[in-house]
Amino acid sequence: MEEIGILEVGGFAAGQAQDETAGTGLTVFLFDECAAAGVDIRGGGPASRETPLLSPVADAAGIHALVLSGGSAFGLDAAGGVMRFLEERGIGFDVGVTRVPLVCQSCLFDLAVGDKAVRPDATMAYRACGQASRERFDEGCVGAGAGATVGKLMGRDCAMKSGIGAYAVQAGGVKVGAVVAVNALGDIYDIDTGAQIAGLRTEDGRGLRSSEQLLCAQAGQARNPFTDHTNTTIGAVFTNAAFDKAQLTKIASMAQNGLARAIRPVHTTADGDTVYAVSTGAVAGDLNAVGTLAAYVMAKAIARAAYTAEPMFGLPSARSLAAI
C-alpha cells in the first residue's frame, strides 16, 4: 500500500471557494460520469440535500456532483450553482426538455466563527466549479474547512481551528481516498501515534485536555449548553473500484469507523456527521478490503485537517499550539 494524491484516485475534478473574512466556504467534486454513490449519516443534526437519491431502492443510478460546505442549512443553496454550471454544459439526467444534474450536498455549522450573515451560495459554488482542478487540492482553512473548528465542549474560548484534509492510498490496482471537513464537538487524534493533536484546550489555553473524559464526568448532570447542533464532520471516500449503491452505502458505513478512531467523542446529537462513498472507476475490488481502507484514509484525512489548519479568528491551530 502506498500513499498517493487524492486526485490520483481519478474520475473527478475538485474545486474550492471561500470567504476568508467571513470564515465560510465550500468544496465541490465534479464527476467525469454519473457516479454511483452511497451515504451514511451518524450525527444527530445533519444538514443535507438530495441524500434520498443514494438509497439503494431509489431509481437514480448515481450523481453528477457532490458539495461539502459551511453555512449550516443556509449553505444548501450552494448546490443550485453547481446545477447551473452542469446544466450549461449539458450534464445531467435527460428529461427531454433539458438535463437535470443530480447533486448531493452536506453542510457543517460555521456561523459562529466569522460573519454569520455570509454563507456559501450558488454564486460561490459556480465559481468553485469554474476553478475545479485535476492536479491540485489544497488543505487547511479553505473550502468547506474555512470555518471548521474542534474541541467545543466548553465553548469557543477553549476550542481550536481545524480545516479540510485529504489522504489517499493505492493497494494493487485499487485506489481509495478521503476528503473531510472536520468541525467536531470532540478532539482529534493521530491514529499512528495515538496522540491528541487538537481539540479542547486547558483553561490556560496552552495545552490539551480530553473532551471524552470531561463529557463522561458530566453524565449525571443536566445537558451541557455547548452540546447543541453547532458542529458536524462531513466527508467523502472516493475509489476507482466499481461498486453499486448498496455496496457503497456499506463502504460509507465502514468509513465512519475512521471518524470513531480519530475523533472523540463523535456521532453525538451535537454533530451531523455524514460520510459519502463514491465509485469513480471500473477496477475490480473487494468490498471488505475497500471498506477497511476507507476507514483508514478517513482517519488519516481527519488528522491532515488538523495538521494543515492555520490559526484564525482568535483560535489556535495544532501547529500554533505546538509552538507555544
Please tell me the predicted confidence (pLDDT) of residue 43: 76
- pLDDT mean over 148-177: 96
pTM, rounded to two decimals: 0.96
Q: Residue 235 in contact with residue 143, Cβ under 8 Å?
A: no
The arithmetic mean of pLDDT across residues 281-289, rounded, is 97
Average pLDDT over every residue of 60-85: 97
Question: What is the per-residue pLDDT for 270?
Answer: 84
Task: Report how far residue 181's alpha carbon sits from residue 248's, in angstroms, rounded to the nearest whole number.
Answer: 20
Each residue of 4-63: pLDDT tens digit? 999 999 999 999 999 999 999 999 999 999 999 999 998 777 899 999 999 999 999 999
pLDDT in tens, 100-110: 999 999 999 99
pLDDT at 287 > cutoff 90: yes
In this prediction, residue 220 has a pLDDT band, given cuts at 50, 70 and 90, of confident
pLDDT at 322: 75
Q: CA torsion 18→5→81→253, rounded to 10°?
A: -100
pLDDT band at 224 (very low <50, low <70, confident <90, very high): low
Residues 58-84 have a mean pLDDT of 96
| Rg of the chain on CA atoms, in Å | 18
**Maximum average pLDDT range among 111-120, 198-207, 290-299:** 290-299
Mean pLDDT for 165-194 is: 97
Return the C-alpha cell found at 181: 471537513
- What the block records as the C-alpha cell of 281 is 472507476
pLDDT of residue 44: 79
Q: Does pLDDT of 228 surpass 90?
A: no
Q: Is 246:205 a contact under the CB 8 Å cutoff? A: no
Amino acid (1-letter code) at residue 162: S
The DSSP string of 72-86 is: GGGGGGGHHHHHHHH
